[in-house]
Amino acid sequence: MGSPNTLGSLRTVTETRRAGAIAIVALSAPPVNALSEALRLGIRDGVAAAEADPEVAAIVLIGAGRMFCGGADITEFGRPWQGIGLGELLDRVEDCAKPVVAAIHGMALGGGLELALACHYRLATPAARLGQPEVKLGLVPGAGGTQRLPRLVGTEKALEMIVSGEPVDGRAALDLGLLDALADEEGLEAEALAFAGRLVAEGRGPRRVREDDSRLEHGRIGLFAAAREAAARRYRGFEAPQACIACVEAAGTLPFAEALAFEERTFFALMAGAQSIAQRHAFFAEREAAKIPDLPADARRRPVRRVALAGADLAGAAFAGAAEGPARRLAAILSQAAGLTVLRAEGAAPPDFAGCDLVLVGEARDLASHDADPEAILAVAADAPDPAALAEGPRPERMLGLHPGAPLPGAPSPGSRLLEILRGPATAPEVLATALSLARGLGRVAVVTRGGFIGPRMLGRLRREAGRLVHEGASPEQVARVLTEFGLTAAPLGLDAVAPAGEPAAGHHRRAVSDDEILERCLDTLVDAGARILEAGGALRASDIDVVWLAGYGWPAYRGGPMHGADAQGLPALRDRLRARADRGGPDDAPAPLIERLAAEGGRFADLDRRRG
């Protein structure tokens, strides 16, 4: 093949070199080769230089580092394109007069897959992941994904990929017709060069996806109606899935350029909308939750392989069916995890703690009579563990709390995606780091808190307010319906059968309570509870509180979390409503001091997070 020759130093984010008559344009913008302005310009210049070079017969586009391209740079969302827009770049790639081959490893997601679709041929490794996850950010693919993908794989399969946002691996992509060939992980570049060489030898030029409508199924009766009906059931309340269907439908009913323009208009309309803003907030909030400022980066993370369940309430809890209460739900989650050995009590006999990395109990007192390995984590899983017990237990530096959130319907295992980690006053950094690592290994989103678990504390306030509403005249069924229509799942939160808060007082008259009042009071109460936790240092960030509710209590992603919702509405309005309630109901209904302060400053919870960050 000979040694590669440098075509020229175009941009630091691309490396362009030659292997005989084949130019290699490598995307080099770690860690994920996101399509930032610099990378877009680098690709444009690299392809243009190769196209203009008379010694180049074909071009291979490949990702440096661990992947092809993770997609658009979402930090640029909401701002006009700079340099060159992604759609314009892809048109230039597709218009190239010499064949362009995408060589894919790792991931080609979102804009990364759209880039591959604009290339004339595609190879990938079997383990590569290819997909259009924009719908999970409340968006449609915005650079031709809804137009080129159905032309390659057919309308029905494209709908499945785009509306679900779920990726496929290399083998599935080959079966779908998304790829021309599979390539070995270690030999990807060499195989891509060989493939490009065969194209040249056989005289095969560019093959543009936009020019082949043969796989479009726009005439298939009922296809889109069925897709809309299925999306309405599966993604209740979400706007983006329906918008994705409309864009794919346009691929078969409009000329390519017009359908592309429709997709672009849809993309920017959704980007400016409340749902996408909320979903993008949720995306970033989940990543921020993993950042613990005072946890040393080199804190030891001990592997957790053996778990002991202590306490009579956990006997038999290794079975998924025994999943009532946080300790039993967490025990069931641990029991289903691959690579974990879970020891549980047999009858009255406690499990053998020898060699266990984690001892889980429902109450701290259950640890008192047992001897655990000095290195073991001692974890308490209760809705409201006593913080003092974490400080005064047998080894307070090894103690923390764990809470799996609510048992949401349809969750992959008992509980939710959440794992709250309650940091005790003396919890060692190594113990916290190990718990964070365990959460990742369990596929859960970790949120670190102090003083008590965020979710149960806020849920307790919500239930009390719901009880007050029933006391005043609402029915439990009405409260549950209002919150379900908002997007919550009422039953696991105990909101489908709320008991009145107290007995009617002499002369008390029940009244009609409107749906609007129920929703307003419930949401305001939640935000006030969150603000008090935040002000007391119980949560690192307001966005962490949102993550707890998004990942642990069924808060709909398109609403972004209770604190985000309050920011979007405006804190002065929230403060005024809480003040009015305090005038009627007493000082316990007064707004949290943090709400008062931020409202007076014209600030938001998000501003507070930025200052703390």
Quick one: how far is CA 6 from the chain centroid?
40
Least confident of 229-238, 439-448, 499-508, 599-608: 499-508
Q: Is 26 left (phi over 0), alpha (psi -120 to 50) or beta?
A: beta
Alpha carbon separation from 607 to 276, 302, 559, 591 (Å, rounded): 20, 36, 19, 19
Report the pLDDT value the prediction gives residue 132, as an integer from 0 to 100. Answer: 97
Nearest C-alpha neighbor of 360 from the set 391, 332, 397: 332
Report the pLDDT value the prediction gives residue 319, as an integer from 0 to 100. Answer: 47
pLDDT surpassing 50 at residue 7: no
Q: Find the catalytic residue in 134, 286, 420, 430.
A: 134
| DSSP secondary structure of 374-419 | TT-EEEE--SS--HHHHHHSSSGGGEEEEE-----TT-SSSS-SEE
Number of H helices, E strands in the chain: 22, 17
Listed in sequence order, the residues at least 6 apart from 77 whose beta carbon sits closer than 8 Å to its beta carbon are: 271, 280
Per DSSP, 553 falls in state: S
Report the pLDDT value the prediction gives residue 217, as an integer from 0 to 100. Answer: 86
Phi/psi for 524 (5° steps) reads -60, -40
Contact 149, 110 (CB under 8 A): no
Quick one: how far is CA 333 from the chain centroid?
20
Name the band, by pLDDT with cuts 50, 70 and 90, for residue 346. Answer: low
Q: Find the catalytic residue in 55, 88, 94, 114.
A: 114
Neighbours of 499 (CB within 10 A): 12
Rg (CA), the chain: 28
Contact 383, 453 (CB under 8 A): yes
pLDDT surpassing 90 at residue 73: no
Report the pLDDT value the prediction gives residue 321, as an integer from 0 to 100. Answer: 45
pLDDT surpassing 90 at residue 76: no
Alpha carbon separation from 346 to 312, 514, 565 (Å, rounded): 10, 52, 47
What's the pLDDT tens digit per position in 14-58?
888 999 999 999 999 989 999 999 999 999 999 999 999 999 999
- The upper half-sphere exposure of residue 292, i.e. CA atoms within 13 Å in the direction of its Cβ, equals 22
What's the pLDDT tens digit per position in 360-373?
888 877 776 667 78
pLDDT surpassing 90 at residue 254: yes
Strand pairing of 14-19 and 5-6?
A: antiparallel
Alpha carbon separation from 232 to 213, 227, 241, 251 (Å, rounded): 28, 9, 8, 21
Element (H, E) at 14: strand 14-19
Q: What's the whole-number mean pLDDT along residues 103-108? A: 97
Report the pLDDT value the prediction gives residue 5, as an integer from 0 to 100. Answer: 40
Would you call the peptide bond into 31 cis, given omega within 30 degrees of 0 as the criterion? yes
Least confident of 265-274, 332-341, 548-557: 332-341
Report the pLDDT value the prediction gives residue 394, as an integer from 0 to 100. Answer: 74
Q: What's the whole-number mean pLDDT along residues 87-106? A: 97
Report the pLDDT value the prediction gives residue 1, as an integer from 0 to 100. Answer: 34
Least confident of 149-158, 384-393, 495-504: 495-504
Contact 498, 520 (CB under 8 A): no
What's the pLDDT tens digit per position in 348-401?
566 667 888 999 888 877 776 667 788 889 999 988 887 777 887 778 899 999
What's the pLDDT tens digit per position in 421-471?
999 999 999 999 999 999 999 999 999 999 999 999 999 999 999 999 999
pLDDT surpassing 70 at residue 8: no
Determine whether 456 is exposed, middle or buried from the number of CB atoms within 10 Å of its CB (0-12, 13-18, 19+).
Answer: buried
> End-to-end alpha-carbon separation of the chain, Å?
51
Name the band, by pLDDT with cuts 50, 70 and 90, for residue 588. Answer: confident
Listed in sequence order, the residues at least 6 apart from 609 whose beta carbon sits closer than 8 Å to its beta carbon are: 288, 541, 542, 543
Is 37 a residue of the active site? no
Q: Is 410 left (phi over 0), alpha (psi -120 to 50) or beta?
A: left
pTM above 0.85, yes or no: yes
Neighbours of 258 (CB within 10 A): 11
Listed in sequence order, the residues at least 6 apart from 506 whose beta carbon sits closer than 8 Å to its beta carbon are: none
